[in-house]
A and B are shown apart, each in its own frame.
Chain A
Amino acid sequence: MTRLLKGMLFATTMFAPAGAVLAQDASLTIESWRNDDLSIWQEKLIPAFEAKNPGIKVTFAPMAPTEYNSAVNAKLEAGTAGDLITCRPFDLSLAMFQKGQLAPLNDLDGIGNFSDTAKSAWTTDDGKTTFCVPMASVIHGFIYNKKAFEELKVEVPKTEDEFFALLDKIKEDGNYIPMAMGTKDQWEAATMGYYNIGPNDWKGEEGRKALIAGTQKLTDADWVEPYKTLAKWKPYLGDGFEAQTYPDSQNLFTLGRAAIYPAGSWEIAPFKAQADFEMGAFPPPVKKAGDTCYISDHNDIGIGLNAKGKNPEAAKKFLAWVASPEFATLYANALPGFFSLNSTAVKMEDPLAQEFVSWRQNCKPTIRPSAAIVGRGQPNLDLEMWRVSANVINGTQTPEQAAEETQKGLDSWYKPAK
């Protein structure tokens, strides 16, 4: 027994350093908030990269989305962050770049595979330096239960009137909850509500840019209108929606108890895995038939290089691979609903994802209004919009009060360039 033990001790002391040398070859850690995607990274993406680049070992280390930004910032400051940092779009990553935590990537192989629009979320205000490789965008809309629609013999709505008539009909029938959404987690109300239907009212980029320029205010009719529409959603949400959480909503829909789910395209993959019925999708309905439609097509996720990382060369190799069409195809098909930003057209297998992407042909895309430039200060406009959108749906605040509150918060620090 002792001999065995001695042998083991000997073996570990002799061979452990050898193992350490091997590991030092190059091991990369990806910091991310996408804990839902852990298995896809481990089983599909990382093996594909490692097979081509022997000697580089990649670990995907996700954490809770709401804690990601503060945690990764603390890690970057302490110098313990991984070599690769998943980038939130716009102001948050820009702040990291300005602090010198993210390295510029202008000369990275393959960065030319992205259009300026794709890069806009991770480029400095002067448009000169790009600091993250764009990975994917997400599109907002409504996912519906095709089986329910067939049973009720209803059609996909084109205008807002049709949309509410449809909700009335589902409610009257009583078999399905018309719409699965809760306000407890607050972000659903803004992300799937306000940012989803709003672009039709504030005319997408036009309104968003006017807000940044200061020619429009959040209290203008175009910005209050979506709150008014949201307030009308209340009777169509399930019983006790005030205490309904995000997973509750997802489960209500995938269990077939709700007919419509105000969604972001990132739901496609998990919904496919859960639901046993056919699903379809429609873009946010317009006010009047024939109006131009606008969709929220939001650059959501990119990946950057830790300026103080330990293996910059290996990390750059990985980033160049992320910028390649090969990665775009792999990623877009492994995670339908995260649409590639690569200029090379990517063939997607998933019909629901194709449906979402097809809206780009007729509708004008825009990004979330609170993401760029106006999202930089305190109080954070995005968080403010979460709170007031939830209040409006709960009926504890009027649309006008909600708009006024967000504008007041914005005024307290934002001075548009005149």
Chain B
Amino acid sequence: MSDINTADPETAPIKRPFRWHILVFLAPAFLVYTAIMILPLIETLRLSLYNLVDGQTVFVGLTNFTTLFSDPRLSASFWNALGNNLIFFVIHMLVQNPVGIALAAMLSVSKLRFATFYRTAIFVPTLLSFVIVGFIWKLILSPIWGIAPGMMDWVGLKWAFAPWLGKSESALITVSLISVWQYVGIPMMLIYAALLNIPDEVLEAAECDGITGWSQFWKIKLPLILPSIGIISILTFVGNFNAFDLIYTVQGALAGPDGSTDILGTLLYRTFFGFQNQMGDRSMGATIATVMFLIILAGVSLYLFVIQRRMRRYQF
């Protein structure tokens, strides 16, 4: 019992000086992030609860939100934008991500020649400015100066050409596919990295069990890269519901024809900043921004709390 009173050097609290350098190193990032991200976000959320009444900014509670959803015109354009945004997202999920995965799967085949070249070439559009991408595609698809009609003529497909960006049936799909073309490099790179991470032993073991080729991809590789696919889906979701730039450069702020390419970002822009003779309405703009924030928050939470928890992870 003698050792009870003797202080155990292992468990005794060690007097350490306060580690100031941690705070110092964190400060720049924290300050910059607060100043340019968190404060504006809070300010936007706050602004959505205020409105101009007789030239004075007054707290109006949730009136802006009820106006947004009850005013026949505002709500019609909001639902139209949300619907278009969903289609925009679905096209990305159905085209961009599967194509990205397929490209990554092909690149990871060790026998492929010029793999680095393909990898770079497919990734380059992602690095281009959206202004350049929008402008290039507008030119390519232009029925007057574009090369698309001519090239389709060479292969006898001239009849299939249409001024896609100018027709309400096809404009949204066209713009979505341009965006897919630009960003397909991102899922490709992430999946490629995940595929390279799979240890050779696992694949060799699969081969010993007679699982090769396609069934190896479906049964071994795909389950192992599922977490990466989840991350890509959520990145696509956030990116698409925040999208604005490409539509603005290709279709203009009116997101024509007849609002058929109008997504939440362009609606927000027109409402907040105004357009031509329509004056900007900051409170209503902030309201739309808040709704967008809530939609994205809901999507991300759904992923984090429901899907990601159920995902099985494998440790090697």
A binding-site residues for B, Cβ under 8 Å = 65-67, 69-71, 73-74, 88, 92, 95, 99, 182-187, 238-244, 248, 252, 375, 378-380, 382-383, 386-387, 390-391, 394, 396-397, 409, 412
Contacts and interface: CB of A to CB of B under 8 A. Distances in A.
B165 interface: yes
Contacts of B258: 387, 390-391, 394, 396-397
A410 to B, nearest CB: 12
Contacts of A183: 166, 257
Name which of A70, A186, A386 has the most chain B CB atoms within 10 A of its CB.
A70
Contact of B273 (A67, A242, A412): A67
Given A69-B274, A186-B256, A391-B257, A240 B279 contact: no
The 6 closest A-B pairs by CB, nearest first: A240-B143, A242-B166, A70-B274, A243-B166, A243-B163, A240-B163
A184 B257 contact: yes
Kindly name the residue among B72, B164, B253, B279 whose own CB sees the greatest number of chain A CB atoms within 10 A. Answer: B279
B280 to A, nearest CB: 4
A92 B257 contact: no
Contact of B277 (A69, A74, A394, A409): A69
A92 B277 contact: yes
B279 A184 contact: no
Contacts of A88: 277
B275 A252 contact: no
11 contacts: A70-B274, A74-B280, A239-B143, A239-B144, A240-B162, A244-B144, A248-B142, A378-B278, A390-B258, A394-B167, A396-B257
Interface string B139-158: 00111110001000000000
Nearest to A249: B144
Given A240-B143, A242-B165, A396-B257, 17 more contacts: A70-B274, A70-B280, A71-B273, A95-B279, A184-B256, A186-B256, A239-B143, A239-B163, A243-B166, A244-B163, A248-B144, A380-B276, A380-B278, A383-B277, A383-B278, A390-B257, A394-B167
A378 B258 CA distance: 17
A244 B277 contact: no
A186 B145 CA distance: 20
A375 B73 contact: no
B254 interface: yes
A252 B144 contact: yes
A243 B73 contact: no
Centre residue among A67, A70, A243, A244 by max chain B CB count within 10 A: A243
B279 A73 contact: yes
B277 to A, nearest CB: 5
Contacts of B168: 394, 396
Interface residues of B, number: 31
B276 A243 contact: no
B61 interface: no
B143 A184 contact: no
Nearest to A388: B258
A246 to B, nearest CB: 10
Interface in B77-118: none
A183 B142 CA distance: 13
A35 B144 CA distance: 26
Given A240-B144, A244-B143, A409 B73 contact: yes
Contacts of A65: 276
A241 B277 contact: no
B40 interface: no
A390 B277 contact: no
Contact of A380 (B55, B166, B167, B277): B277
B165 A243 contact: yes
B252 interface: yes
B17 to A, nearest CB: 44
A375 B165 CA distance: 30
Nearest to A390: B257
B168 to A, nearest CB: 6
Interface string B43-66: 000000000000100000000000
Contacts of B164: 243
Contacts of A92: 277
Interface in B204-254: 252-254
B127 to A, nearest CB: 27
